[in-house]
Amino acid sequence: MTPITQRIAVGLEYDGTDFVGWQVQRAGRSVQGVLEAAVSAVADQRIGVTGAGRTDAGVHARCQVAHFDSHARRTPRQWLLGINSNLPEDVAVRWVRHLDADFHARRSATARRYQYRIFERKTRSALLRHRTWWRRGKLDCAAMTAAASSLLGERDFSSFRAAGCQSRTPMRRLTTVALYRADGLLHLEFEANAFLQHMVRNLVGVLVEVGRGAAPPAWAAEVLAVRDRTRGGVTAPPQGLTLMGVRYPARFDLPSPDRSRN
């Protein structure tokens, strides 16, 4: 009898500091690579893992979502404990679910939520160097919020994509940009149906230019309109960025990005 294959979804968090990014590459340590090794050890078979998104080198995740197929008979708790016991300290699985075969970590997702954190102080922080972008002066949140409002909606984000971005279309639907200060940090949150390569970091770069007074709020709309990456601001460094969570249709009953902060 042919073993029945099950589709397993996992939610995981990781510190991206020492990774080349999510995706397996020719050289370097990837999140996908260490996760596949851990899952394969528990399943006692070689397993490939598909993630909801490809975070860059140095980018963190509070709740990345991935799936894999296996005919190994394990309970969710056995998968959870077994995978975590085989993962390095900078990656941890938070939850495991058995799902129907029509679930796909990337294609089933309806939205992704990212958070970018900026540390505003005259002196640098030794403790926050891998989790924030250090800026020496206070930024103007009101001006940044005004600039961000012109970016919402279904837009052509060519001005905010990396030169090597492989997406077939620059069109994305940005539904949320929120700025607030908490715990001594400036937080910028973004939610969209999907993001282009470096899109969040390039958005942050433009908003910071506005926030420090180097450009008016209307400049963000101008950058968007020209559809030319060379006309935008700097690309914010990766260490301030965290994938907070991925949103799926309710029928899959998976944790939402709104609950992924806990």
pLDDT, one tens digit per residue, over 114-164 is 999 999 999 999 999 999 999 999 999 999 999 999 999 999 999 999 988
Q: What pLDDT score was predicted for residue 1?
A: 57
What residue ranges do the domains of the chain occupy? 6-108, 111-243
- pLDDT tens per residue across span 59-111: 999 999 999 999 999 999 999 999 999 999 999 999 999 999 999 999 999 99
Task: Spot the catalytic one: 56, 156, 253, 258.
Answer: 56
| Beta strand pairing call for 60-70 and 241-247 | parallel
pTM of the model: 0.95
Q: What are the percentages of helix, strand and coil residues in the chain, rounded to 5?
A: 25, 30, 45
Question: If you write DSSP's letter for every residue of 142-181 in order, what string do you get?
Answer: HHHHHHHHTT-EEEE-GGGS-TT---S--EEEEEEEEEEE
Q: Report residue 3's pLDDT band, with 50, 70 and 90 as the boundaries.
A: confident
Q: What pLDDT score was predicted for residue 260?
A: 43
Q: Are 125 and 108 in contact (CB under 8 A)?
A: no
Mean pLDDT of 13-40: 96
CATH of domain 6-108: 3.30.70.580
- Are the folds of 6-108 and 111-243 the same? yes
- Asked about 56 being catalytic, the answer comes back as yes
Residue given tokens 């590459």 in the structure block: 25
Q: Which of 7-11, 68-72, 131-135, 252-256 has the lowest mean pLDDT?
A: 252-256
- Smallest CA-to-CA distance from 11 within 69, 76, 73, 66 is with 66
Q: What pLDDT score was predicted for residue 198?
A: 96
Mean pLDDT for all residues in the chain: 95
Fold exhibited by the domain 111-243? Alpha-Beta Plaits (3.30.70)
Q: What pLDDT score was predicted for residue 222?
A: 96
Instruction: Examine the pLDDT at 262 and tell me if it is beyond 70.
Output: no
Copy the structure tokens of residue 231: 């006309």
Q: Report residue 2's pLDDT band, with 50, 70 and 90 as the boundaries.
A: low
Q: What is the DSSP letter of 223?
A: H
